[in-house]
Amino acid sequence: MARDFMTYERELYNYLLKNEDKKPLDFIIQETNKLKKILDIVSQKTDEDIRNEVMEGFTDKLNIPDEKDINYLVKTGKTRFEGTIQHLKDELKFLEIKKRELGVGSIVETEELDLSNSTAVEKIIAYNELGIIEHIRNNAEFGISNNALSKALSLLCGERPQTLRPSLNRLSDKDTDHKDHPYHTTKTVERVKYSLIKLGFKLKN
């Protein structure tokens, strides 16, 4: 059985209390990496490894059980390890759920964005996730075209309006399959979200 919500919240609270510069995502990453290392070790256990561990428990050679009892103990040990493996997998699933509640995809595939060298598409994603694009639209007295919006964002990020415009034209589309849609590449989206969450932002999606 994976850790319950209260246990998770308590462990997270203690972690943040001891590490004031850290965020919930840092705790999830730490716990995920720790569990994966343990899972990797346990998963590599062979029947021979389990048998050797059983035999090591009998230091007195005069009291070594017969082969039938040894096989039973090996089977019991194997069942115990299988239970441990399932428990670790359940723990990882729980952390995956908590991570997705923060708006981040797979930890394994996610890398932090180089904020000093982000692309125009990454900037559009960031502005959208932070609500900046929506804020600009809502504060335009008579509405704002994508052409005007691209010029406004150009002032913020230094990208040319014509570079930003293709992504802005597709941003409102629910279908992200088009190559010009800023959310077309999942890995790019996750990298931007991950970086913003690491900075302490709570994203809208």
**Shared-domain flag, residues 165 and 93:** no
- Is the Cβ–Cβ distance between 35 and 88 less than 8 Å? yes
The answer to whether residue 121 scores a pLDDT higher than 70 is yes
Longest dimension (CA), the chain: 93
The boundaries of the domain holding residue 168 are 115-198
Domain count, the chain: 2
0.95 cut: is pTM over it? no
**Shared-domain flag, residues 94 and 127:** no
Q: What number is the average pLDDT over the span 119-125?
A: 93
Q: Say if 109 falls within a structural domain.
A: no
State which amino acid sits at residue 96: E
* Residue whose tokens read 């409102």: 172
**Shared-domain flag, residues 37 and 91:** yes
Q: Say if 171 falls within a structural domain.
A: yes
The answer to whether residue 77 scores a pLDDT higher than 90 is no
Q: Say if 139 falls within a structural domain.
A: yes
**Residue 92: both structure tokens together:** 């990882």
Q: What number is the average pLDDT over the span 163-176?
A: 91
- Residue 113: per-residue pLDDT: 63
Q: What number is the average pLDDT over the span 39-60?
A: 80
Q: Say if 154 falls within a structural domain.
A: yes
Q: Say if 108 falls within a structural domain.
A: no
The answer to whether residue 143 scores a pLDDT higher than 80 is yes
Domain's final residue, options 41, 74, 101:
101
**Shared-domain flag, residues 83 and 18:** yes
Residues 97 and 95: their CA atoms lie apart, in Å, by 5
**Shared-domain flag, residues 119 and 94:** no
- Residue 108: per-residue pLDDT: 47
**Shared-domain flag, residues 124 and 185:** yes
**Shared-domain flag, residues 21 and 81:** yes
Q: Say if 60 falls within a structural domain.
A: yes
**Shared-domain flag, residues 80 and 120:** no
Domain's final residue, options 72, 101, 130:
101
* Cα distances (angstroms) measured from residue 3 to each of 34, 80, 95, 112, 117: 15, 18, 9, 28, 39
Q: Say if 107 falls within a structural domain.
A: no
**Shared-domain flag, residues 51 and 94:** yes
**Shared-domain flag, residues 38 and 73:** yes
Q: What is the pLDDT of residues 5-22, one digit of tens each?
A: 788 888 988 988 888 878
- Residue 142: per-residue pLDDT: 80
**Shared-domain flag, residues 11 and 89:** yes
**Shared-domain flag, residues 84 and 44:** yes
Q: Say if 205 falls within a structural domain.
A: no
